[in-house]
Every structure is written in structure tokens, then in C-alpha cells.
Amino acid sequence: MRFGTLDFTTAIDSPGLLAAPTAAALRAASAAASADALVAAIDPTLADTAAFCAHYEIDPGDGANCVIVQARRGERTWYAACMVRGSDRLDVNGAVRRHLGARRLSFAPMDEAVELSGMEYGGITPIGLPADWPLLIDESVAAHERLIIGSGIRGSKLLVTGSLLSALPNAETLAIAIA
């Protein structure tokens, strides 16, 4: 399948283009879910949203970013993943903080996000994240027919449906974006 200037193939058939946790999650998923995840190799220096979209002719609204946040309340610290379209911003200190019941919420430090997810910074995807992390998916992401997301590495991107993302473990769909 062609999207923008990229040619995508079935992700499960290209494990070398996926982070290990992403490949494992796709292998464990249903056959239908695995078939819905497509992958394409990209230049890893172009993995960041603006550069990627400009080079591969993808509208930022046709992509979704996975943002890892660190929540705190008292002595407890936990992590969550949030999915918002590339054209939107995450309402970190409003909707996300309230939904998670956190006293303080911040973007997770890069080294912690990478270590805990087992994925590369700039390529983190919700597919294969730790099972105990909440996954908050913006309503516009869940409703989108096809979206470009990270693959767990900077050298490729996944093409998935919003419904596949909404069906991931611990996924909740709610309004968390600021357009």
C-alpha cells in the first residue's frame, strides 16, 4: 500500500523494521490486528514529525505521535502513553493530568522513556509498551481511518487504523488534544 511517497508492507513480515517489543506485540495480536499494521523503512534522520511529513509528503494530521508522560501523586510515580495527531498538541496539564489523577504531570525524561519502553526515542509506539501503562488515545486518532505512527525504531514507520490503536491493551479514547 502506498501512503504519501512510502510503500508499506505487512509489519509482521518485516520484524527487522520493528523494535523488539513492537514485533512481540504484533506476533501476540490477533491475525486481523497483525494484518492491519503495515510498515515502511524511512531515513532515521527524518523520523521527527515535521521533517518526516515534509520529506515523505504526509499531512501532519495523518500521523499520530506517542507522547510518554510521567505522573506523580505523593510518593507514587507512574507512566502513561498518549496518542495525538501530529497536527495537534497534547493537553498535558489539563485533560491528561485530571484523567490520570496526578498531582504533577510532565513529559517523561528521554532516557527513562527509552529504557522503560525498550524503544528508540523519536520512534516510540503504543504497540508493545509495558502492559501496566495506561494508553490515552485522542478521539480524533481513534476515528482516523489510517495513521502513520512510530514503529519503536527511528528507521521505519507504521501505518495503522485508529480502531487498531483503540483496541490495544489499556487503551482509553477521550479528548486529550488541543487543535
pLDDT (tens digit per residue) in 120-136: 999 999 999 999 999 99
DSSP run (H or E) holding 158: strand 156-160
**160 pLDDT tier (thresholds 50, 70, 90):** very high
**31 pLDDT tier (thresholds 50, 70, 90):** confident
Task: Answer yes or no: is pLDDT of 34 > 90.
Answer: no
Task: Answer yes or no: is pLDDT of 99 > 90.
Answer: yes
Task: Answer yes or no: is pLDDT of 32 > 80.
Answer: no
**63 pLDDT tier (thresholds 50, 70, 90):** very high
Torsion angles phi and psi, residue 160, rounded to 5: -135, 170
CB atoms closer than 10 angstroms to residue 37: 24
**172 pLDDT tier (thresholds 50, 70, 90):** very high
What's the whole-model pTM score?
Answer: 0.94
| Residues 43/159, Cβ–Cβ less than 8 Å | no
The DSSP result for 48-83, as a single string, is SHHHHHHHHT--GGGBEEEEEEEEEETTEEEEEEEE
Amino acid occupying residue 146: R
Three-state SS string over 39-50 comes to EEECCHHHCCHH
